[in-house]
Amino acid sequence: MPELPEVEITKKTLKKYVEHQYITDIKINNYNLRYKINKNFKKNLLGKKINKITRRSKYLIFHLYDKNFFILHLGMSGRVLVKQNKIRGLIDTSFYASTLPIDKHNHIYLIFKKSTVVYNDTRRFGFIKYYTATEFKNCSHLSKLGVEPLSDELNFSFFKRNIIRFNKSIKNTLMDQSFICGLGNIYVNEALFLSKINPNRSSQALHEKEIKVLINYIKKILKKSISMGGSSIKDFHNSEGKFGNFQNTFKVYGQENKKCVRLNCTGFIKKSITSGRATFFCTKCQSE
């Protein structure tokens, strides 16, 4: 499932190809994504020029020159592919992806003068939606999101001030998108391990020092993953088809029964299921 670093990498890749470009054509093969694509989607976007692409949590936001927007969410298995046209204007039929996605899962083609952006999604939990400038102000997907983990807004005083709202384990609190947005299961497990905090600890029982350490590791691990090209477990490849390497550095995620990698720790990684999700932690250095 794409998490924040993956979406950030998709954004960075797309910026190179579509910012300041006109959408010259749109082809929709399947309207039935998580939300049915609006029948006016094509009409609204045809001939429009993209000003910039930003990211909020796991949403890609396309800002149009006419001040309107469309947003893209990759869901569980969505991925964006870019086909670059050949110099003479012919479309290069091969994707950059080293492993070709299956064509039948190509649902949307956004066609630009020099390239084509393809939205491919096996499970179709992702979605794309158009908003006028006015509608965008009340976009329900974005309005309830918490702070961006990589922004300065995520700091000790924010954490301390807001943690009192969450009467649950620190694992579940970090997964709560209304607190910090964009963190998913992988990075929450990893950040808690690095911080030596047991995932089942009550959020409100954390000491000030632990909060500071945790914030530091949340930011660090996301930055590291972005710099390594994202985590390509299961469904993810970055837009140029290179595999991310970050999953090779997971210390607890998917590492059950292995010996803890922390120097001088004799513990083992345990997997438990909490709130329907897998939690991984070291029995020793993250003991309660």
Regarding 284 and contact with Zn ion (CB under 5 A), the answer is: yes
Q: Which of 49, 201, 212, 262 binds Zn ion (CB under 5 A)?
A: 262
Per the annotation, the verdict on 208 as an active-site residue is no
Regarding 267 and contact with Zn ion (CB under 5 A), the answer is: yes
Per the annotation, the verdict on 113 as an active-site residue is no
Q: Which of 145, 150, 265, 278 binds Zn ion (CB under 5 A)?
A: 265
Of 164 and 263, the one with the shorter C-beta distance to Zn ion is 263
The answer to whether 24 and 123 are in contact (CB under 8 A) is: no
**Closest distance of CB 207 from Zn ion, Å:** 19
The 3-state secondary structure of the chain reads CCCHHHHHHHHHHHHHHHCCCEEEEEEECCCECCCECCCCHHHHHCCCEEEEEEEECCEEEEEECCCCEEEEECCCCEEEEEEEECCCCCECCCCCCCCCCCHHHEEEEEEECCEEEEEEECCCCCEEEEECHHHHHCCHHHHCCCECCCCCCCCHHHHHHHHHHCCCEHHHHHHCCCCECCCCHHHHHHHHHHCCCCCCCEHHHCCHHHHHHHHHHHHHHHHHHHHCCCCCCCCCCCCCCCCCCHHHHCCCCCCCCCECCCCCCCCEEEEEEECCEEEEEECCCCCC
Of 95 and 281, the one with the shorter C-beta distance to Zn ion is 281
- Please identify, among the stretches 54-62, 100-108, 218-226, 280-288, the one whose residues bind Zn ion according to the rule CB under 5 A: 280-288
Of 176 and 256, the one with the shorter C-beta distance to Zn ion is 256
- Please identify, among the stretches 103-111, 136-144, 201-209, 279-287, the one whose residues bind Zn ion according to the rule CB under 5 A: 279-287
Q: Which of 260, 279, 280, 281 binds Zn ion (CB under 5 A)?
A: 260
Q: Which of 56, 212, 277, 284 is catalytic?
A: 277
Regarding 269 and contact with Zn ion (CB under 5 A), the answer is: no
**Closest distance of CB 284 from Zn ion, Å:** 5
Regarding 282 and contact with Zn ion (CB under 5 A), the answer is: yes
> CB-side exposure of 76: number of CA atoms within 13 Å?
6
**Closest distance of CB 71 from Zn ion, Å:** 40
Q: Structure tokens of 67?
A: 């001040």
The answer to whether 45 and 109 are in contact (CB under 8 A) is: no
Of 69 and 193, the one with the shorter C-beta distance to Zn ion is 193
Which residues make beta-bridge pairs with 85?
A: 91
Q: Which of 11, 48, 55, 58 is catalytic?
A: 58
**Count of residues engaged in binding Zn ion, rule: CB under 5 A:** 7
Give residue for tokens 């969505």: 78
Per the annotation, the verdict on 2 as an active-site residue is yes
Per the annotation, the verdict on 153 as an active-site residue is no
Regarding 270 and contact with Zn ion (CB under 5 A), the answer is: no
Residue 173 Rama label (left phi>0; alpha psi -120 to 50; beta): alpha
Site string (212-251) toward Zn ion, x via CB under 5 A: ----------------------------------------
- Please identify, among the stretches 175-183, 209-217, 244-252, 262-270, the one whose residues bind Zn ion according to the rule CB under 5 A: 262-270
Residues that bind Zn ion (CB under 5 A): 260, 262, 265, 267, 282, 284-285
- The residues carrying an active-site annotation are 2-3, 58, 277
